[in-house]
Amino acid sequence: MIRIISSAIGAAFVFVLAIALFGSIKGQITDPVKATAVDDFHLAPKEVELKSNGYFGTFDKRQLQRGLQVYKEVCSACHSLSHVAFRDLKELGYNDAQVKKFAADWQLKAQTFDDKSGDRGERPNVPSDHFPKVYYPGTGSPPDLSLITKAREEGPAYVHSLLTGYTKEPAALLAKYPDSKTPDGLYYNPYFANLNIAMPPPLTQDGQVTYLDGTKSTVDQMAKDVTAFLVWTAEPNLETRHDAGFAAGIFLLIFCFLAWGAYQNVWRDVKH
């Protein structure tokens, strides 16, 4: 009798779950979600070749220095880099004097506060300071770029594709979705989440930045360099992590070999 009652309760429970499941998907069956312009015209980021890619990736310091130059001359007016200290730039190959001058010459100064008078002021940045934050009172600030390649899916590819992806709305988009015209003040970019982005194209022409090392500064090259730099800001210890992972892998292989040898030695005289 108890078994019959238990079976009945179980069947009733399954029946209720089935009704709930059908109710949750009924709308999608009878009235499926219609495709939107984003579904049809949003593009996945294109792969970008960087030395930091892969399990054994490393940083190209010359490229990182070029990327820093692009950030300084193109991006820094709008985007902060507040998780990076000026002294961290020594890892890119700069010496103490260069870092000190770079910090002191930075366009935004460090903020000071006098506890006694309550007055705020400014002073030149020093190597121990982080890059000052960029503020836009009343309008909100654009994203901080320190961790952008970790904060976005397919981070490096996304950043590079976004920077080089500005274009005019395709005629097919307007023909299929007449209401999807890019609003005034926004810019069409098929790699952005909703196709329309408020940031104007930051890299507009070849030669926009004159590289100190003489590299030809095409739009694609500048986008790659600043992307590589932002990979470094998000994970400056990438090379160390890769080296540690490689060493750990070698250790595990040796340990497995020694364990196998010990096993063979201990059991060699045991007859099966």
pLDDT in tens, 203-215: 999 999 999 999 9
The lowest-confidence range among 17-21, 67-71, 103-107, 232-236 is 17-21
Structure tokens at 200: 């104007």
User: What's the whole-number mean pLDDT along residues 79-87?
Assistant: 95
pTM metric for this prediction: 0.81
Query: Quick one: pLDDT at residue 255?
Result: 94
pLDDT of residue 231: 97
**How many CB atoms are closer than 10 A to CB 58?**
14
- 121, containing H or E segment: strand 120-123
Q: What is the mean pLDDT of the chain?
A: 89
How many degrees, rounded to 5, is the angle at CA 162 between CA 160 and CA 168? 135
> Which pLDDT score, from 0 to 100, does residue 179 have?
86
Sign of CA dihedral 103, 109, 110, 112: positive
d(CA 149, CA 163): 13
| 197: nearest Cα among 15, 42, 10, 76 | 42
pLDDT the model gives residue 186: 95
Structure confidence at residue 271 (pLDDT): 59
> What is the mean predicted confidence (pLDDT) over 143-166?
96
Residues in the chain: 272
Q: What is the pLDDT of residue 232?
A: 97
Give pLDDT, residue 138: 65
Mean pLDDT of 125-129: 95
Tell me, what's the pLDDT at 111?
A: 84
pLDDT in tens, 89-99: 999 999 999 99
Residue scoring higher pLDDT (272 or 40): 40
Residue 167 in this model has a pLDDT that exceeds 70 = yes
Cα–Cα nearest to 132, from 113, 107, 157:
107
